[in-house]
Homo-oligomer: A and B are copies of this chain.
Amino acid sequence: MMNYDTGSEEWKNWIISERSFNKKYLGKCESIMVLGNGYMGVRSATEEAYIGEKRNTFVAGTFNRFDQNEVTELPNAADLIQLDIEVNGEVLDLTKGTIHNYNRQLNLRTGELCRSFTWVLTSGEEYDFRFKRFISLVDLHLIGQKIEIIPRNCNSSIKITSGINGQLTNSGVQHFSEGDQRLYENKYLQLVQTTTESKIDFLMNMVHNFKINEQIFTPESMIHMDRRKIYFHFDTSVNKGQTLMLEKISTIQTSRDRNLGNISLRELKNISYAHLKKQSSKGYETLFIESVKAWETRVWKQYGMEIESEHEFDQLAIRFAHYHLTIMTPAHDNRMNIGAKGLSGEGYKGHTFWDTEIFILPFWIYSAPKTARSLLEYRFFSLSGAHKKANENGYKGAMYPWESAWLDDGEVTPVWGAADIVTGEQTKIWSGFIEQHITADVAYAVRQYFQVTNDNEFMNEFGFELLFDTAKFWCSRLEWSIKDRQYHINDVVGPDEYKEHVNNNAFTNYMAYWTMKNALAYAHLLKKQKQSIFQKLNAKLNLTKEMLKWEERLELIYLPKPTANNLVIPQDDTYLQKKEIDLTKYKEQDEVGTIFNDYNLEQVNEIQVSKQADIMALFYLLEDYFSSEVKAANWNYYEPKTLHDSSLSLSIHSVLASDLGDSNLAYRLFKKASTIDLGSNMKSSDHGIHAASLGGIWQCVVNGFGGIRVLEGQLRIEPKLPENWSKLVFPIYWHGDRLKVVITKESVIIENITKENKRIEFLNHENLYILIDKITIQHNHSEK
Interface residues of A, Cβ cutoff 8 Å to B: 23, 49-51, 66-67, 69-70, 91, 93, 95-96, 166-174, 177-186, 196, 222-230, 417-419, 421, 424-426, 597
Cross-chain contact of A230 among B69, B95, B168, B419 (Cβ < 8 A)? B419
CB-CB under 8 A for A183 and B419, given A167-B171, A196-B67? yes
B424 with A222: CB separation less than 8 A: no
Cross-chain contact of A172 among B23, B69, B96, B168 (Cβ < 8 A)? B168
B419 with A223: CB separation less than 8 A: yes
New A-B pairs, 15, CB < 8 Å, besides A51-B93, A171-B228, A183-B425: A67-B178, A93-B95, A95-B95, A167-B171, A168-B172, A172-B228, A173-B178, A173-B227, A180-B426, A181-B426, A182-B425, A183-B419, A223-B419, A223-B424, A225-B419
A95 cross-chain contacts in B, Cβ below 8 A: 93, 95-96
26 A-B contacts (beta carbon < 8 Å)? A66-B174, A67-B178, A70-B177, A70-B178, A96-B96, A167-B171, A168-B172, A169-B169, A169-B174, A171-B226, A172-B174, A172-B229, A173-B174, A174-B174, A180-B426, A181-B419, A181-B425, A183-B419, A183-B425, A186-B424, A223-B424, A224-B418, A225-B417, A225-B419, A225-B426, A230-B419
- Distance of A720 from chain B, by nearest CB (Å): 43
- Distance of A739 from chain B, by nearest CB (Å): 46
A169 cross-chain contacts in B, Cβ below 8 A: 167, 169, 172, 174
- Distance of A68 from chain B, by nearest CB (Å): 9
A70 cross-chain contacts in B, Cβ below 8 A: 177-178
- Distance of A418 from chain B, by nearest CB (Å): 6
Cross-chain contact of A222 among B49, B166, B597 (Cβ < 8 A)? B597
CB-CB under 8 A for A421 and B223, given A51-B51, A167-B172, A181-B426? yes
Q: Give 5 nearest A-B pairs by CB, closest first.
A: A167-B172, A183-B424, A225-B419, A174-B174, A171-B227
B177 with A69: CB separation less than 8 A: yes
Query: Interface centre among A181, A183, A186, A227, by most B CB within 10 Å?
Result: A227
A228 cross-chain contacts in B, Cβ below 8 A: 171-173
A224 cross-chain contacts in B, Cβ below 8 A: 418-419
Q: How far is the CA of A23 from the CA of B50 in the complex (A)?
A: 13
A67 with B227: CB separation less than 8 A: no
A227 with B172: CB separation less than 8 A: yes
A227 cross-chain contacts in B, Cβ below 8 A: 170-173
B419 with A177: CB separation less than 8 A: no
Q: How far is the CA of A196 from the CA of B65 in the complex (A)?
A: 13
A418 with B225: CB separation less than 8 A: yes
Of all chain B residues, the one with the shortest Cβ separation from A51 is: B49
A166 cross-chain contacts in B, Cβ below 8 A: 172
- Distance of A688 from chain B, by nearest CB (Å): 15
A174 cross-chain contacts in B, Cβ below 8 A: 66, 169, 172-174
B424 with A67: CB separation less than 8 A: no
Of all chain B residues, the one with the shortest Cβ separation from A425 is: B182
B424 with A184: CB separation less than 8 A: yes
A170 cross-chain contacts in B, Cβ below 8 A: 227
A226 cross-chain contacts in B, Cβ below 8 A: 171
Q: How far is the CA of A50 from the CA of B421 in the complex (A)?
A: 31
- Distance of A591 from chain B, by nearest CB (Å): 12
Q: How far is the CA of A174 from the CA of B167 in the complex (A)?
A: 10
B418 with A177: CB separation less than 8 A: no
Q: How far is the CA of A783 from the CA of B257 in the complex (A)?
A: 71
A177 with B67: CB separation less than 8 A: yes
A230 cross-chain contacts in B, Cβ below 8 A: 419
A96 cross-chain contacts in B, Cβ below 8 A: 95-96
Query: Interface centre among A70, A179, A183, by most B CB within 10 Å?
Result: A183
Q: How far is the CA of A49 from the CA of B50 in the complex (A)?
A: 10
- Distance of A265 from chain B, by nearest CB (Å): 13
A184 cross-chain contacts in B, Cβ below 8 A: 424
Q: How far is the CA of A575 from the CA of B351 in the complex (A)?
A: 61
Q: How far is the CA of A230 from the CA of B196 in the complex (A)?
A: 26
Q: How far is the CA of A50 from the CA of B51 in the complex (A)?
A: 6
Q: How far is the CA of A424 from the CA of B418 in the complex (A)?
A: 47
Q: How far is the CA of A289 from the CA of B501 in the complex (A)?
A: 54
Q: How far is the CA of A223 from the CA of B49 in the complex (A)?
A: 28
Q: How far is the CA of A441 from the CA of B183 in the complex (A)?
A: 38
B91 with A23: CB separation less than 8 A: yes
- Distance of A474 from chain B, by nearest CB (Å): 34
- Distance of A428 from chain B, by nearest CB (Å): 12
A69 with B418: CB separation less than 8 A: no
A196 cross-chain contacts in B, Cβ below 8 A: 67
- Distance of A378 from chain B, by nearest CB (Å): 27
A23 cross-chain contacts in B, Cβ below 8 A: 91
Q: How far is the CA of A703 from the CA of B177 in the complex (A)?
A: 46
Of all chain B residues, the one with the shortest Cβ separation from A231 is: B419
